[in-house]
Structure 1
Amino acid sequence: MCSHGHSHNCASEHIPEVPGDDVYRYDLVSYIDLEKVTTLNESVDGAGKKVFKVMENRDDRTEFVESDCDHELLFNIPFTGHVRLAGISIIGDEDGSHPAKLRLFKDREGMSFDDCRIEADQEIDLKQDPRGVVDYPLKASKFANLHHLSILVDANFGDAETRVFYIGLRGEFQHEFRQRVAIATYEARAQLKDHKNEIPDAVTRTLF
């Protein structure tokens, strides 16, 4: 499993509470490639991807993920293009199973717990937030342009297992993957050399 360093996010950083749905929108779920989301140490296979819900369903507690053999959970989240992440919200239970610390990693696909020994791009100490009213801002310099996010739940508030009901990501979609765009552009442009046997020579006729 991951090493348990105890470096913390800046204690003086103000963590705003969100009084209503209109203050922040956590809409990047529509740009997550949900079929390819993986969660390590989940007690039920496939449960982890279900916590990435539309914001309006964040109070739904019928779907959640719970850790298996200890308190750690590791989410590997691919996006369908490049995005800019600005904030995160997370909902847990009103007990010791609520996540207490997150470590975030940018553009490191397929991370395992052993990979988490490297320095995180950002670490966040969480409040217990069973209603999802706390917004945790992310570093603009780190998360301005990424295609993959890994989230490690590194600690909870004391229980043997961790339970998560919702993870919301705030930000905006930036652009499609350049390689796909380049291929699409190439295919859309007629290539004369590829069709030279299909295009008849031009014939000039005079109509009387």
Structure 2
Amino acid sequence: MRLLPVPSLPEIRLYMAHPGSGLRRLLEPDGEADESVVAPQPPYWAYAWAGGTVLARYILDRPSTVAGRRVLDFGAGSGLVGIAAARAGASEVIAAEIDRNGIVALGLNAEANGVAITIIDEDITAGPPLAVDLVLAGDVFYGQEVARRVVPFLDRCLAAGIEVLVGDPGRAWLPRPRLRLVGEYLVPDVGGNGGSAPKPSAVFAFVVADAD
């Protein structure tokens, strides 16, 4: 892992995987893997994904979005979004992450950027919303089962009067009818590892479902 500036976010540095780290192979399924062996959890925390990057860029360009507010970085991964919120003046930043390696990386990244982040190391999707003003959710709709857990949780946040912003490059399980576009940037995906060219990614407000 190397401490590097984030593509499209030179204000922030993260400990990220690089071509020589060998971590990228853990992102891809192995067709010959022994099913009796529990595979390591993919190191999502080692990369700056497009949804988190676009959300962080949006926050840094519009610090009034978070200034003086209590913020939750939901599914924090590397902590990129939470770090951006802290740098932009959030009064408190909480990061929710369940991957044990991600939790360590998150703490190291916060320290490297000189910000304070409170880490919650458990799945919060089944419980009530935390006492925050704003939820920031970058790249949380990458799988169907995950989306099925996330949407009800975000609905409970809205019902509690908590604003929700989503960053995403347009992944398959994005709940598009529930989203209102608020910003768009060209950013690379997966931290540029492997030469990913910048592509459009968006920031959305998660909104209440229309009554049928």
Larger radius of gyration: 1
Higher relative CO (CA 8 A, sep ≥ 6), structure 1 or 2? 1
Q: Same fold (TM over 0.5)?
A: no
**How high is the TM-score relative to the length of structure 2?**
0.25
Q: Answer 1 or 2: which has greater strand percent.
A: 1
